[in-house]
Amino acid sequence: MKVAILFSGGKDSTYSIYKVKQIGHDVKCLVTIFPKSSNSHLLHFSTIESTELQSRTLEIPQIISTLDSDELKEEMNVLEMLLEKAKQDFQIEGLVHGGISSEFQKKCFEKICEKIDLKIIAPLWKINAKEYMNDLIDSKFKFILTSVSSGGLDETWLGKIISTDDISQLDKLSNKYGFNLNFEGGEAETFVIDCPLYSHPIKIKKSKIVWDGYIGRFEIEDAYLDSNAR
């Protein structure tokens, strides 16, 4: 099936590409919406501008729109518009999203897809969190945390490439502080800097950490594709 990916640049949407390609779907385009702020109901906010680099290294075209409102209705209207464009330009038959447990987001995406006659695929739905996080590492996905907003996650996690040992530590912290190990509740956001789908890894040349004592973000100010690393 020809599909579009709802793409944020994080581990879930990128790993969803990996999974649907494994079962034979043809990924025709990435669909990315730049939300107005981190208050978005449906969309990943942190480092969203850097998805352009990911599109290039994935060698998958990207359809983009920018929002000037955090209203759910506006987010859904823009997503519907982009998917109609993807149907016209790439003849897609389905939409893939990286949702794991959010019934609210799933129902929003299903409503749009039903309206415009697209099948919906959620390859990570209800996946076991610990197994999934370890599968990411085993599958050679390198990702960093670009935002944290939960007790137990301090500024030392920002910009950190997550390892197997880190997942063990995060598992302990999630049990202690009550956050989702896979960050499905928005406790952290991620950015994939390398994986088997990339032609070249992404190197971050300049960045900064913004921390207010409880929540923080890792801002990518300059990054490039490392053509010497393959």
pLDDT tens-digit readout, 19-52? 999 999 999 999 998 876 565 555 555 677 899 9
Q: What is the CA radius of gyration of the chain?
A: 17
194 conformational bin, left if phi > 0, alpha if psi -120 to 50, beta if neither: beta
Task: Say which residue the tokens 């049990």 belong to.
Answer: 175
Query: Does the pLDDT value for residue 5 go beyond 70?
Result: yes
Give the pLDDT confidence score for residue 42 in this predicted structure: 54
Is the four-CA dihedral 67, 194, 163, 102 of positive or negative sign? positive
Q: How many helices (H) and strands (E) does the chain have?
A: 6, 9
Residue 75 pLDDT class (50, 70, 90 cuts):
confident
Q: What is the mean pLDDT of residues 126-155?
A: 95
Looking at residue 180, its pLDDT comes to 93
pLDDT of residue 37: 57
pLDDT digits (tens, 9 = 90+) for 162-192: 999 999 999 999 999 999 999 988 899 999 9
Which CA distances in Å does 140 have to 18, 161, 196, 202? 11, 12, 7, 14
CA atoms within 13 A on the CB side of 59: 7
**Owner of token pair 């393959």:** 230
The rounded mean pLDDT for the chain is: 91
- Rounded CA-CA distance 95/189 in Å is 22
> Are the C-beta atoms of 95 and 111 separated by less than 8 Å?
no
% of the chain exceeding 70 in pLDDT: 94
Q: Is 117 left (phi over 0), alpha (psi -120 to 50) or beta?
A: left
What's the 3-state SS for 151-197?
A: CCCCHHHECCECCHHHHHHHHHHHHHHCCCCCCCCCCEEEEEEECCC
Q: What is the mean pLDDT of residues 128-139?
A: 96
Residue 115 burial (CB count, 10 A)? 12
- Residue 125: the pLDDT is 96
Domains and CATH numbers, the chain: 2-121 (3.40.50.620), 131-225 (3.90.1490.10)
pLDDT, tens digit, 9 for 90 and up, residues 198-226: 999 999 999 999 999 889 999 999 999 99
**Which residues have C-beta within 8 Å of that of residue 68, sequence separation ≥ 6?**
36
Side-chain half-sphere of 76: how many Cα atoms within 13 Å?
Answer: 17
- Calpha distance 7→64 (Å, rounded): 10
Average the pLDDT over each of 86-90, 131-135, 136-140, 180-184 and give the range with the smallest value. 180-184
SS3 state at 50:
helix
Output the pLDDT for position 40.
Answer: 56
Q: Give the whole-angstrom CA distance, residue 204 versus residue 130.
A: 28
Q: Are 220 and 9 in contact (CB under 8 A)?
A: no
